[in-house]
């Protein structure tokens, strides 16, 4: 609370990040407090830093052990807070840089992957992270005067929606490569077969010439 709500706090982000990494189980207990306090942040930058703390907590989730239900419950809270913050930035109700927006989308991507890791079904994932919400945010980014020129940010928006829809661009790429590889193998096999016929024909002709001699 001191770090997030007071500009003159003697704490700094690096100190809190180190604490979360060293003691992930203890830091996990701060997850909801960080979200609650972020609404009373000293300024927009402090609020952004609160989400950066949440990003570190999310990345430490594999160390938490058997806390699946707590994680899924928290993800719903994180989703609502993150979407609200990003929407206000797109509507320019608060000012964030493109770099800060990318960091927030990194948090979203990391959180979705952690949810995928423990969710029992895709329905659970989509119920928590609601693809339609992120499609709407993608459209806001595309129409925003501040962010529409950033292709990197647009790519991250697309990654988020594709991840929630069940197939990332990388998976599509792998499938396409697999199909191309199969087609190439068939062509190679066809060519090899034709070459074999040519070689066999040449050998037969040579045998006939030798027989005549």
For 86, how many CA atoms within 13 A lie in the half-sphere containing its CB?
Answer: 29
pLDDT at 112 > cutoff 80: yes
pLDDT at 167 > cutoff 70: no
Residues 181 and 95 in one domain: no
pLDDT at 134 > cutoff 90: yes
Kindly state the average pLDDT of the residues 153-169.
80
Averaging pLDDT over each range in 59-73, 96-110, 114-128, which range is the top one? 96-110
pLDDT at 194 > cutoff 60: no
Q: How far apart are CA 161 and CA 132, in angstroms?
A: 8
Kindly state the average pLDDT of the residues 144-160.
91
Poorest-confidence range of 13-17, 142-146, 152-156, 208-212? Answer: 208-212
Residues 138 and 47 in one domain: yes
Q: How far apart are CA 139 and CA 130, in angstroms?
A: 15
Q: What is the pLDDT of residues 78-101, one digit of tens each?
A: 999 999 999 999 998 989 999 999
Kindly state the average pLDDT of the residues 197-206.
52
Euclidean distance between the first and the last CA atom of the chain, given in angstroms as a whole number: 102
Query: CA angle 127-34-103, nearest 5°?
Result: 70
Confidence of residue 147 (pLDDT cuts 50, 70, 90): very high
Q: How far apart are CA 105 and CA 95, in angstroms?
A: 16
Kindly state the average pLDDT of the residues 37-45.
95
pLDDT at residue number 185: 53
Residues 202 and 154 in one domain: no
Biggest CA pair distance of the chain: 105
Residues 58 and 140 in one domain: yes
Environment class of residue 114 by beta-carbon count within 10 Å: exposed (0-12), middle (13-18) or buried (19+)? Answer: buried
3-state secondary structure 157-197: HHHHHHHHHCCCHHHHHHHHHHHHHHHHHHHHHHHHHHHHH
Residues 95 and 31 in one domain: yes
Helices (H), 60-91: 68-90
The total of structural domains in the chain comes to: 2
pLDDT at residue number 206: 57
The structure tokens listed for 181 are 């590889």
Q: Is 43 helix (H, G, I), strand (E, B) or coil?
A: coil
Residues 94 and 151 in one domain: yes
- Whole domain around residue 205: which residue ranges? 168-213
Residues 185 and 120 in one domain: no
Average pLDDT score over the chain: 84
Confidence of residue 72 (pLDDT cuts 50, 70, 90): very high
Poorest-confidence range of 54-68, 97-111, 191-205? Answer: 191-205
Residues 15 and 30 in one domain: yes
Confidence of residue 176 (pLDDT cuts 50, 70, 90): very low
Residues 196 and 148 in one domain: no
Residues 61 and 110 in one domain: yes
Residues 190 and 155 in one domain: no
* Residue 89 neighbours by CB under 8 Å, 6+ apart: 95, 96, 101, 104
Residues 102 and 129 in one domain: yes
pLDDT at 154 > cutoff 60: yes
């Amino acid at each position: 609370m001191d770090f997030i709500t007071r500009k003159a706090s003697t704490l700094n982000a690096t100190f809190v990040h180190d604490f979360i990494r060293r003691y992930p189980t203890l830091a996990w207990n701060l997850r909801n407090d960080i979200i609650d306090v972020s609404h009373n942040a000293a300024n927009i930058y402090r609020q952004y830093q609160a989400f950066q703390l949440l990003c570190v907590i999310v990345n430490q989730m594999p160390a938490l052990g058997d806390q699946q239900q707590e994680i899924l419950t928290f993800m719903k809270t994180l989703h609502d807070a993150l979407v609200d913050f990003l929407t206000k930035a797109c509507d320019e109700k608060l000012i964030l840089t493109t770099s800060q927006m990318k960091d927030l989308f990194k948090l979203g991507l990391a959180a979705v992957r952690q949810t995928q890791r423990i969710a029992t079904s895709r329905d659970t994932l989509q119920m928590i992270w609601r693809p339609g919400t992120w499609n709407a945010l993608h459209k806001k980014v595309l129409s925003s005067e501040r962010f529409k020129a950033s292709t990197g940010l647009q790519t991250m928006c697309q990654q988020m929606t594709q991840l929630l829809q069940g197939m990332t661009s990388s998976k599509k790429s792998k499938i396409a490569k697999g199909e191309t590889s199969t087609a190439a193998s068939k062509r190679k096999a066809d060519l090899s077969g034709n070459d074999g016929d040519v070689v066999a024909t040449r050998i037969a002709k040579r045998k006939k010439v030798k027989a005549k001699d």
